[in-house]
Structures are given as C-alpha cells and as structure tokens.
Amino acid sequence: MAHLLPSARPFAITLVAALCLSACGGGGGSGVSFPIAATPPAATNPPAVVVAGPPKDLGFTDTAPVPDAVAVPPFVDNVATNQRGDARYATKDTNAGVRVVAGFLDFWQPSTLLVDAGVSAPAQGSFPAVVASTWSGVPGDATDGKMLNTDVLNRNIQYVVDATNARTSAQELAAYLDDRRGKGYSISDGMGPLTSAWRTATQQVTTITGIAADATTVLYNDGGNDVGVAGAANPGFGTVVDLLKNIGENGSTEPAKRFYKYARPWRWSNSVKVVPALEPAKSGTPATDGGFVSGHTAEAVRDAIASAYVVPQRFQEMVARGLELGENRILAGMHSPLDVVGGRLHGQAVATASLSTGANAARKAAAYAQAQSVLTAAVGAGDAAAFNAFAHSQGTATDRFADHAASKADYLRRLTFGFKPVGDTTKPAVVPKGAEVLLETRLPYLDATQRRVVLKTTAVASGYPVMDDPEGWGRLNLFDAADGYGVFNGDVVVTMDAGLGGFNALDSWRNNISGAGKLTKKGSGTLALGGSNSYTGGTQLVAGTLQADAAGAFGQGNVYVGGGTLVCNAPSTITMAGAYTQLAGTTLQLNLGGNGAGRLNVAGVAALDGTLNLSFKPGFAPGAGDTLTVISSGALTGRFSAINAPGFKVTPTYTGTQLIVRFDA
C-alpha cells in the first residue's frame, strides 16, 4: 500500500523544489537554499538547508589516442609482414610479429637479429638474402645468445623448475590435454554451462581424452577438428566457425621463434620435469625449436578472443581460459613464463588485426548474431537475460571460472607470473590501434573512444618484463576491461537502450573506479555498479536504472536523481559521501535485508521527493509493527510522495536526519 503526503505540502519546500528544477537542468549548478518549514522569516527560524543540484561536469572526457603511427607502426596495419622465409620481413623493423614482442630484447640478445633459425631467403630488391643461422639451439654453445638481465632470465627458468616439480596429477593431466588437443577444442570448456551446446553447434570433436597407457606413441596426433566444422558444411553454425578459423590469419609464431632463438626451459635446466607422457613429443631439432614465443599460448588466446566476441556472456571466462592454457604450457615443462607472456601479446595482436579489418566486418557481425540465436535456443532461454543467467548458472564444482574474484586474481597472476617490475612503473598506459574491437560486443553501449578509455584505465602498471611494448599490447587486462572503467579521468556519459537487449539492457561494472570524473547515466537500460568506488565527480541519473551492488558504489561525490530509478541492492548499507537529491517523478528502490542491506546513509543533505519502493531480500522480512530506519543523513528535507512495500501499510516518520518506517499489515 502507498503512503501519500498530505496535500498541504509546505509552500516553501514546493517553491524551492520548483526553483531547483528550473535552475539546475544541465550538468552544473551550485544548489539552492531549501527551507525546512514554511514560516515567515524570523530570528528563531532553523538555518536553511542547502539542497545540491546536479554535480558539475568537468567539461571534458578522457581519451586514449593511438600511438604515433610513424614512430610505432600499428600491428593491425602490418600484420601481413609476419612471415618467415621472406627477406623483406626478416628484421624486427620489418616484421610485425617480431616487433610486437621486442621487449624481450631488453633481457636476451639473440646470436643474430634476423628471422634465420633454420630458414633462409633469397634477396628481394634492396633486401639482402637471409642465410640460415648457425644457432644450435643448445644453451651454453658458442652459437647461443647473450643474457642481458641474468636475474630475470634465471628466474624465468627457475619458475618452470619449481612449477614442474610441484605439479599435481590433476595439473599434469590438464597440461597434457592442453598440449595435445586442438587448442580450439581445449579452451571451449571455458564456456561453462554453454560448453555442451557450443560443442554440438560447432561440431567440435577430439580424439584426445586422457593420457594413453602407452606413452611412447604420444605425439601431436589429435584426430579431431579443433574449432569445428565451418562454412556450408555446418549451415547452423558454420559462420561462427569461419570466424574462429580466420582469427589466426598471419598469426604464425614461427617468425618470432626463429628471430629470438631462445631455448625451451628443459634445455636450460635438467631440473625441469616435462610431463612424462610428453617426452616423445620433445623436438630433436633444437635449432628450429625456439621457446620464445609460445605458439600454443598465442593460438589459445586468439581462439579465446574470437569465442568471447561471439559469446560475450562468457567473455571473462573465455579470456581467462586462454591464459590458463598458457600457464599449462609452463606446467607441462614446455615453455617458460616469458615465452607465455610473449604468446599472449602476439595472440592479442593477431586477433585484433583479424577482428578490426574491414573485410571481416560482415563475417564477425553474422557470427555474433548466429552464436546468440543458436545458443539461446539450444539452452531453452526465452530471451537475452535468461541466456545470460544460464551462462552463469553453475557453481565452481562444474564451472571452474564461476568464482569471479578468484578468476580475476588468477588472470592478473597469469599476466606477470610473479615477476617484479624492472622498469618505470609510472608510464601512462597506451592502447593499440584497433584494440577497442575486443570489447565491441561486451560493452556495446559504449562508443569506440570510450572502449579505448576502458582499456587504458584497466591496464596493468608499466615496468614488467617484456610487457612494455610501445603499442600497449602487453599491459592490456581484458578481464578487468570487461568490468567497465577503472578510472573516471573525465566526464563519463553512459547511454543504454534496453530495447536492444543483452548488455544494452543490463550490465554490471565491478571494478573499483577512482578518478575525479563524473558519471551520468542516460537511456532506458540498467547499469549496476559493484565496486568499492572512490571517484569524486559525482553521479547523475537522467533516465533508466542505476543500481548500487556495493556499499561504496557511488564514490565520493554527490548523487542526483533527476529521472529514472536508483536501486540500493548492496549486501550492506549504501554510503553516500556527499549529498543525495531526488526529484519528483523519480524512484528510489531499497532492497532491504540483514546486516543493514539496502539502507541508505547520506553524509550530506538528503533532499527527498518522488517515490520510495521498499522490497525485501530472500530470508528477510519485517513483521507487523516493526520499524526500520531506511535513510540516515546529515540533514533530511522533503518528503516522498508515495512509499510502497509489498504486503504492508507503511507509516513514515521524518526526523531532521532520518526516515523511519513502520510496517503494519
């Protein structure tokens, strides 16, 4: 039932509210005086309460410009140079696949600075012929390269020694499977509850299901089909598989391997324990078997990105699975951490080049539409919201990526593998040309510039080995980027159209957002904030729904509700460090529960109007006659025009600082 205010609302409150509405319609406003009582001015009157208008805009937005294309040739424009056996592309400066991981040259100097390990190439025009290197591939030989940072490189191999000697039987099996199976098939279990539907639709198969009893015959002999059946042979899902097959175009890691000429970890140390069943798969030709970069990792990262693009409901889980496969290369004894870091950079760059090319625009759009339609129907979901819910419907017993916090921590750990920064940790992050495409389906309501800023503000710190490439590939944190902005360095305006469905209708930002900027929410969709935020520019709700899923979701500034619905859904009391202003025609929804859940604590002035809806979390409900303090503030003014609570008649009591409600049957 609703509690309606008496019609004789104090004149002064009505007048000043009208003044606020007429004077504070833009992005700024300094607030107006809001008298508490409608009595003539007198010496005994209480002091005026200042009601805040909308938080002021900073007047600018953040950007993430593309690095200078002359000084830093974009990988996406030069991916076709990633070739071996071609004299035109035999150097770091001429081969994009070599250049993208050139940070390794700060630590390791190859015996030659050419793509020449086991490969030669005739002269082409002004490009001299390439003669095959005499590199033996055996550390310590006269043809070996030179350690430029022994601390980092010794730690690189010691990490593998420690990991392979502490490896569990479960890790051994996982490392074996990720080594031998097609990478596309292997990483598809990152789809969690969607795995069965995905593998059925792609028609993926593998012949590798465990470690064979006769390990001596084990080689790279998966008789499956990796990413599945493509094209017309798979009319229901072939376009999706086409995208997966195309994601590795010009993506070979061999040019980099044959340039850097850095040996496998088991060649550096006899203490590295290769998975016994993989011993027969160890190459007997070390001169053509470089460890840097990891090809398995690069391929897994590419496949994971393509899968995440068409099924963004599992975006974080899929990119996490790609990095998990990289770590399994270390646990297998086949690669070192820096090999895997290099493979990640390489894979991200190649996938971006494929997705950002204009020639692939129609294919990726069709693949996304096909994946969403087919999989939604396959799992019996009635709409996009139900499909997203199904995609996260399993617990950690069956979906090892179900724990968001644990997956986030593992992803961050796998970015650096515990290396300490060895360089300047304060360099501003840069974002590679085209990288915004990686978030195109995950954050569809943001424009390309905003998605670039998301990548910039969620990037890892500078200074880690190999990761400080000038384009910015090494510092990308795609897991955190899928959780929205990390910093508001300027005004952030989010417009979500619920009619478009999916993440346009409902999304959640779970990062801890800092910065001096202001958040403005527009459009009919719902945006949930789940981080412990500290941004100071304030929050303005213009339309749709803005939901707080954490106590500090609204940061340190004022909160102004000029339209739509503000939802307090945190497991504890929502705190607002500044003022709270709610205008007529808007709604505040408090989802009440134990431990103060859903209550609102405003440090400044709480100026109330519009509607208050009270709901109850599962397991919590007041009894008839109970009272709850639902809003506390430094000063409280105004009244709600209606207060609703399911199953109860609500009687409010407004004090100078609190709203207390009594529930009666």
- 174 residue type, one letter: A
Token pair recorded at residue 343: 């493979």
Identity of the amino acid at 441 = T
Residue range 451-464, pLDDT digits in tens: 999 999 999 999 99
- pLDDT category, 212, cuts 50, 70, 90? confident
Strand partners, 146: 109
Token look-up 């086409």 returns: 242
| pLDDT on residue 234 | 98
pLDDT tens per residue, range 588-601? 999 999 999 999 99
Half-sphere exposure of 412 (CA within 13 A, CB side): 11
Q: Which residues contact 504 (CB under 8 A, 6 or more apart)?
A: 444, 445, 496, 497, 498, 525
pLDDT in tens, 71-103: 999 999 999 999 999 999 999 999 999 999 999
49-51 and 32-34 beta bridge pairing: antiparallel
Local confidence band at 218 (pLDDT 50, 70, 90 cut-offs): low
Give the tokens for residue 636.
């409280």
pLDDT in tens, 607-627: 999 999 999 999 999 999 999
SS (H, E, C) 551-567: CCCCCCCCEEECCCEEE
Name the strand (E) or helix (H) holding 361: helix 361-378
Helix (H) or strand (E) holding 613: strand 611-616
Q: 263 and 393 in contact (C-beta within 8 Å)?
A: no
At 5, give phi and psi (nearest 5°): -65, 150
Question: Residue length, the chain?
Answer: 665
Residue with tokens 């022994």: 150
Instruction: Kindly report each contact of residues 554-557 with a partner whose C-beta sits within 8 Å and lies 24 or more positions away, as own/partner.
Output: 554/529, 555/513, 555/519, 557/55, 557/518
- Mean pLDDT score, 25-41: 34
What digits encode the pLDDT tens for the residues 496-525? 999 999 999 999 999 999 999 999 999 999
**CA-CA distance, 555 to 534, in Å (whole number)?**
4
Task: Note the pLDDT of residue 50.
Answer: 74
Residue 467, CA distances (Å) to 112, 251, 554 in order: 22, 19, 33
Do 319 and 308 contact (CB within 8 A), yes or no? yes
Q: How far apart are the C-alpha atoms of 537 and 577, rounded to whole Å?
A: 11
- For the record, the structure tokens of 621 come out as 């409900």
Alpha carbon separation from 135 to 131, 260, 600, 623 (Å, rounded) = 12, 11, 68, 80
Q: Are strands 146-147 and 108-109 parallel, antiparallel or unpaired?
A: antiparallel
Do strands 580-582 and 565-568 pair parallel, antiparallel, or not at all (unpaired)? unpaired
**What's the pLDDT score for residue 529?**
98
Coil, strand, or helix at residue 471? coil
Residue that has been written with the tokens 């008649």 in this structure: 649
Distance CA 134, CA 112 (A): 9
**φ and ψ of 37, to 5 deg:** -130, 155
How far is it, in rounded angstroms, from Cα 4 to Cα 649? Answer: 11
Alpha carbons 315 and 294: distance in angstroms, whole number: 23
**Residue-wise burial string across 443-460, b where 16 or more C-beta atoms lie within 10 A, e elsewhere:** bbbbeeebbbbbbbbbbb
Closest CA to 255 of 354, 390, 350, 353: 350
Say which DSSP state 127 is in.
B
Are 595 and 574 in contact by the 8 Å Cβ rule? The answer is no
Q: Is the pLDDT of residue 19 over 90?
A: no
Q: What is the pLDDT of residues 292-313, one digit of tens each?
A: 999 999 999 999 999 999 999 9
Paired strand residues for 34: 49
Contact status, residue 547 vs residue 541, Cβ threshold 8 Å? no
| pLDDT tens by residue, 392-401 | 999 999 999 9
Whole-angstrom distance, CA of residue 345 vs CA of residue 326: 12
Instruction: Please state, for a pLDDT cut of 70, what percent of the chain lies above it.
Output: 92
Statement: residue 55 has pLDDT above 60: yes
649 DSSP β-pair partners: 664
Measured in whole angstroms, how far is the alpha carbon of residue 86 from the centre of its chain? 37
Checking if the pLDDT of 34 tops 80, the result is: no
197-235 burial, b for 16+ CB within 10 Å, e for fewer?
Answer: bbbebbbbebebeebeeeeeebeeebebbbbbbbeeebe
Considering only CA atoms, which of 3, 35, 42 is closest in space to residue 638? 35
* Residue closest to 24 by CA, chosen among 591, 571, 558: 558
Q: Which DSSP string corresponds to 279-292? A: GGGS-S-GGG---S
Strands (E), 44-154: 49-51, 108-109, 146-147
Q: Which of 303, 246, 257, 245 is nearest to 82 (CA)?
A: 257
At what angle are helices 295-310 and 337-356 packed, to 10 degrees? 40
Those residues whose C-beta lies under 8 Å from the C-beta of residue 430, and which sit 6 or more positions away, are: 64, 67, 456, 470, 471, 472
Query: Which has the closest alpha carbon to 307: 226, 232, 251?
Result: 226
**Residues facing 130 on adjacent strands:** 121
Burial of 183: CB neighbours in 10 Å, binned 0-12, 13-18, 19+: buried
Q: Assign residue 653 a region (left: φ > 0; alpha: ψ between -120 and 50; beta: otherwise).
A: beta
User: Model confidence at 51, in pLDDT bands (50, 70, 90)?
Assistant: confident
Residue linked to tokens 């619905």: 565
Per-residue pLDDT, 48: 60
- Asked if 116 and 254 touch (Cβ cutoff 8 Å), the reply is no
- Residue 8, pLDDT > 60, answer no
Q: Is the pTM higher than 0.75?
A: yes
Helices marked H in 311-336? 315-331
Q: Which domains does the chain have, with CATH numbers?
A: 11-51 (no CATH), 75-419+431-457 (1.20.144.10), 487-664 (no CATH)
The structure tokens listed for 442 are 């995950």
Burial category of 151 from C-beta neighbours within 10 Å (exposed 0-12, middle 13-18, buried 19 and up): exposed
In 3D, which of 65, 107, 22, 102 has the Cα closest to residue 448?
Answer: 65
Over residues 269-290, the pLDDT tens digits come to 999 999 999 998 899 999 999 9
